[in-house]
Structure 1
Amino acid sequence: MSRHDPDPGASAAIGAALYALAIRAVRRLPRDMSLTSAATLATLERTGPRRITDLAAVEGVTQPAMTTLVRVMEESGLVERRGDASDKRVTLVCLTEAGASYVRTRRQQGVHAFERLIGELTGDEVEALVAALPALQHLAELESRDRERPKQ
């Protein structure tokens, strides 16, 4: 439940602006791997080792598709499979150092792209963005939490 019920028009306008910005940001990223692969690496970086079935649910793909994707990333040296120390029947997908480096580099490229654009804003616009940072960070946390919930 929200603490504040915003004007539906304002929510729609904010949502549209954030969505358009996200789409443009994604289009600027290097096309060296699929978005699902990059998202899976980012999930592993954020949450640590996961089962393939968990990754499939979080990324919204089938288990066989995730198995194939993990195999390709494993062959590229970005992830590895390890047994779970607490349950020998379970295999976990883990980020390798190369995978972690890829995630960091890709994130930094995105940050630099936005830094360049922010440099073109007026002082008042930059101040407005700085004032909005706590809300944007909270929105990112809410999105991450929502994304981790099992899909029904």
Structure 2
Amino acid sequence: MRIPNEDAAVAAAFERLYAGLRRITPRTALSLTAASTLARLERSGPHRLCELHAPEGVTQPAMTQLVTRLERDGLATRSSDPADGRAVVVSITDAGRDAIARRRAGRAEALSGLLSRLPEDQRAAIVAALPALDHLNDLLMDTRKD
């Protein structure tokens, strides 16, 4: 399959942007996978433990270990699934929400300084693209469920 040059350019730009966002994200005790998992729980609500590993791109044993650490640190809780007592449901705690909020605030502060250095028309173009980027992210989230 041949990828159009425009799509390849978009992919390359996203790779550079992702790397840049990782560099400006304040260093915390949360790994990228831990932060992503907590953000997923915050955004989508409780999930069965077995549903978390594939979207995050890790094995089920690795996710089990991660959830154990999150629970130990008070950032997530486990409970029995009311529909199936054999299954475990993971939920974010208030402390987990606070950790994610602090991480986002630190990144937003760093990004704000950079955005202020862009010309107004480029800042406006980024803001105008946000709905399309959100939709693209929704599509990405759907593909990671498999």
- The TM-score with structure 1 as length reference comes to 0.84
What does the per-residue CA deviation read over 1:107-140, in whole Å, with 9 as the maximum and x for residues that have no partner? 2222222221110001221232233233222222
What does the per-residue CA deviation read over 1:19-70, in whole Å, with 9 as the maximum and x for residues that have no partner? 2111110122224222111111111112211122111122121111111111
Match of 2:116 in 1: 119
Distance 2:126 2:38 in 1: 28
Match of 1:23 in 2: 19
Q: Does 1:83 align with 2:88?
A: no
Match of 1:9 in 2: 5
Structure 2 unmatched ranges of 5 or more: none
Partner letter of residue 139 of structure 1?
A: L
Cα offset, 1:78, TM superposition: 0.5
Matches within 5 A, 1:27-42: 27-29=23-25, 30-42=27-39
Q: Does 1:54 align with 2:54?
A: no
Partner letter of residue 23 of structure 1?
A: A
Distance 1:143 1:62 in 2: 19
Higher relative contact order (CA 8 A, sep 6+): 2
RMSD of equivalent CA atoms: 1.7
Match of 1:3 in 2: none
Partner letter of residue 84 of structure 2?
A: D
- The TM-score with structure 2 as length reference comes to 0.87
Distance 2:129 2:66 in 1: 37
Instruction: Please identify runs of 4+ aligned residues in structure 1 that moved more than 4 A.
Output: none
Distance 1:26 1:112 in 2: 14
